Structure 1
């Protein structure tokens, strides 16, 4: 098959391109090339998706499948317009952020969506869900349900995750900030997580293209509580010191952020309003062939990558060593 990856030089796109190449397919990546190079064995075509001539170098060819991970509705609209007569199908990696309701676990693909972003450009992450809805609409308008695959992904992690959301916990347990090895964690026993290994997502995207899979699917990793997630991260790191569970209200009062960003605790979300955010029903995708590896395998591989990683500046998510030491001291006081 002939794959056209829109992107392919960054983490997710590059992993998809690598998976398709390993399956023996012909793979072309179209990107500006500013985030890196295309994987080995993959053809690279320079194209700036903000320009009207972005797709001129690929519209003279036919493609079996186009794969797009963009968050910008204007970019998706222009790609669909340029390629709808040249491509057999269009796979779009969307997000679980498209759903309007986040409090109830087990949400299906038929759940209500947030309103679509009216603009072509998403200016900030506050409108991420709305932008992804607009992108989905552009794909369906151009390729129809019979030629589209929309994947509403949960949190993607694994080796190469520079967002720090999947790597923070195994890395923190492997290298605590405190002298006695204590690690601060949020005490939220009812919170669920669904970390999806980037390699599993990429593999299923290629499998689905080969099988002619169409439709809209929730895609996420196995559903485990945050308590279990932290236990697995601790196990792969070999941590045996004290774990200090802290009430979420205390954390918020001390300006610790949920989920991601500076001075945060990754994967923690407030309850009950986010009880269903990382607990969506993925049975349709699994029935269609999605296979996800055990969480321990993902976190062990991520920790190996973290140990080889060079971090320039603060992490994008998590607590600095100084912040964690200060918070534990405040808690003890």
Structure 2
């Protein structure tokens, strides 16, 4: 397969490129090249996707497929228009954030979407879902449903996760902030989690693209209760200390943010409005070949990567050790 990856230097794109090379495909990565280098064995084309002639160097060649991971509608519109007569197939990596309703567990790909972003540039993560909707529409407009694969990914996990969301829990259990090993956890018995290992997602994208699979798919992990996910994280970390549970009202009242970012508890989301965010149907993707490794393997590999990177480094998500100790003291005071 002659494969053009628009990106290929960041986490998911780089993993896709590396797997494609290992499978014997001829891979070209088009990117600015201002960050990481593309994997060994790829051809690199340096280009700014916001520039008028961004695709000039690749639009004169024929491709079996294009894979695009952008979040910017203008970039996707330009790429799809430039490659429509040069590529047989276009795979776009979208997101579960395109859905308008996150409160219904088990929803499939026919669930309603947000309105598309009106414009070419997503300048805030507040409109990430709308931007991805617009990107999907640009791909379908230029390639049509029979030549397009839309991959709606959930939370991507595994070694290399710089967002800190999937590494937070195994690392916290391996390195508790409290001397007695206590760890603060959300009390959310009805909340599901749904993470997909970056290696499994990338492998499926490469395989489905090579086979010319078309359609729209939720490419996500198996839905698992948060308590079960935390139990797996404790297991890989060897944690035996106490768990200190706090419900969502207490966490919010004490300034703990859900999901991601500073002073947060990753994977935790308020209910009922997010009851379906991490419990979407993946039946279609599994029927199309999506294969998932055990969550414990993903968490163990992520913990090893986190420890190699440095357990005490500043993180993009979670509670700092000081913040957690303060919250544990507040929780003990409330209980006493």
TM-score over 0.5 (shorter chain): yes
**Match of residue 88 from structure 2:** 88
Q: 1:98: Cα distance to partner?
A: 0.5
Aligned to 2:47: 47
Give the SS at the match of 1:217.
strand
Does residue 184 of the first structure (1) align with residue 184 of the second (2)? yes
- TM-score, normalized by length of structure 1? 0.99
1:59, distance to aligned residue in structure 2 (A): 1.1
Aligned length: 333
State yes or no: 1:205 paired with 2:213.
no
Q: After superposition, what is the alpha-carbon deviation per residue over 1:73-119, rounded to whole angstroms, capped at 9, x for unaligned?
A: 00000001111111010000000010111111001111110100011
Residue 23 of structure 1: aligned partner:
23
Equivalent in the alignment of 1:170: 170
Distance in 2 separating the partners of 1:152 and 1:206? 15
Change (3 A) 1:99 1:203: same
User: Do structure 1's residue 67 and structure 2's residue 62 form an aligned pair?
Assistant: no
- Please report how far the alpha carbon of residue 210 of structure 1 lies from its aligned counterpart in structure 2 after TM superposition: 2.1
C-alpha deviations, 1:134-186, integer Å up to 9, x for none?
00000000000010000111101100000001000001001011111111000
2:218 aligned residue = 218
Shift of 1:232: 0.2
Contact 2:171 2:311 in 1 (8 A): no
Deviations along 1:295-327, whole A, 9 cap, x unmatched?
001000101111111479631110000000000
Aligned-residue Cα RMSD (Å) equals: 0.9
Counterpart-to-counterpart distance in 2, 1:315 and 1:248: 22
CA distance in 1, matches of 2:271, 2:84: 43
Q: Secondary structure at the match of 2:146?
A: helix
Asked whether the equivalents of residues 193 and 279 of structure 2 are also in contact (C-alpha less than 8 Å), the reply is yes
State the match for 1:151 in structure 2: 151
Aligned to 1:193: 193
Rounded Cα–Cα distance in structure 2 between residues aligned with 1:121 and 1:329? 44
**CA displacement at 1:35 relative to structure 2:** 1.6
Unaligned runs of at least 5 residues, structure 2: none
Report the equivalent of 1:234: 234
Local SS of the residue matching 1:87? coil
TM-score, normalised via structure 2 length: 0.98
**1:20 deviation in Å?**
0.5
